[in-house]
Amino acid sequence: MKIAVAGAGAFGTGLAIALAANGPVTLWARDAKAATKMQESRENAARLPDLIIPENVTVTSDLSEVFAADTILLAIPAQKAGAWLAEHAAELAGKRLVACCKGIDQATLRGPVAQIENHVPDAVAAMLTGPSFAADIARHLPTALTLACKDNDEGAYLQACLSTPTLRLYLSHDVVGAELGGALKNVIAIACGVCMGAGFGESARAAVITRGFAEMRRIGAALGADPETLTGLSGFGDLALTCTSDASRNYRFGLSVGAGKEFDSSTTVEGAATAVSVTNLAEKHNLDLPICRVVADLSSGKIDPETALATLLARPLRKEQ
């Protein structure tokens, strides 16, 4: 199997470093200067400083080298993935395409695998998701992820080829559940960050995690996800990690919002865009997702943390479910 990773951000670079344990990997960076610098220095200083890129990872800005692979991992931001797939649909036809981005597209309200199926219908589409940070993967620390694929044989093949001694992949056929878990945990992580940044305390964060998980299950049921998927690695596992660690970009973004501080605009925060998408999905399916709605309003600057808290506390008392 020839493997390429499209997207040389932190997660794409981390995956390329990890997968190099199995053989040669091509890592594509959009910026030619950045690709050349990474290839020569053997480091992604901007995203994963002090981590060496193995010699069998070729960093390039030449897409033809990516298209020469039969398996391509898409580590492109979720809001840009659809346009990238549409632009290169002809070259991607018949490939194995593994989405490694987490989010729901604002324009189409589709997850990453649905985007692949829409733009490249004859490709094998899969989703790699779960509790993981790029630096942990790159350092070969033990990590367990979900690999979701509708095709049993192709899923098993990808599971075998993309697993390493420290990267353990668990196979699932519930693509919808895997997409939703990875996308929605980022939204809840922002809410948890806001709680901590605004000084609301650990008890408030625990409540947000718990009620946020209920919202994840609610929309999962509406869209046909297997409830078991959301209690696994790609759902609750990823939620627990992202909502409690400063290494999470979405959590750090929430911390900044809650504390009224500026946040690095060059850092991708998938949860902010996904919150808007989820709110639109909730309206479409007549679902009550108050935390997701509040995060959407917070991220767009429509309300402040105090108003957000007041909004949630003002909700009617009812039976927990």
75 touches 101 (CB < 8 A)? yes
Q: Which two tokens stand for residue 119?
A: 């733009």
User: b/e map of 33-48 (b: 16 or more CB within 10 Å)?
Assistant: ebbebbbeeebbeebb
- Tell me: pLDDT of 112 over 90: yes
Residue 113: partners with Cβ closer than 8 Å, 6 or more residues away: 99, 125, 126, 127, 148, 175, 178, 179
Per-residue pLDDT for 68 more than 80? yes
Residues in the chain: 321
Sign of dihedral through CA atoms 212, 216, 222, 227? negative
- How confident is residue 159, by pLDDT bands cut at 50, 70 and 90? very high
Left if phi > 0, otherwise alpha if psi is -120 to 50, otherwise beta: which for 96?
A: beta
pLDDT at position 243 is 97
Q: pLDDT for 90-101, tens place per residue? A: 999 999 999 999
Confidence of residue 309 (pLDDT cuts 50, 70, 90): confident
Dump pLDDT digits (tens) for 28-56. Answer: 999 999 999 999 999 999 999 999 999 99
Instruction: Please give the domain boundaries of the chain with CATH numbers for all domains.
Output: 3-173 (3.40.50.720), 178-313 (1.10.1040.10)
How far is it, in rounded angstroms, from Cα 90 to Cα 273?
28
Q: Is 80 exceeded by the pLDDT of residue 318?
A: no
Q: What is the pLDDT of residue 305?
A: 85
| Catalytic residue list | 185
CA separation for the pair 199, 69 (Å, rounded)? 49
Question: How far apart are alpha carbons 184 and 217 in whole angstroms?
Answer: 10
How many alpha carbons lie under 13 Å from residue 261 in its C-beta half-sphere? 12
pLDDT, mean over the chain: 95
Q: Pick from 283, 189, 178, 282: which is nearest to 231 by CA? A: 178
Single pTM value for the model: 0.95
> What is the mean predicted confidence (pLDDT) over 79-96?
98
Helix, strand, coil abundance in the chain, percent, nearest 5: 50, 15, 35
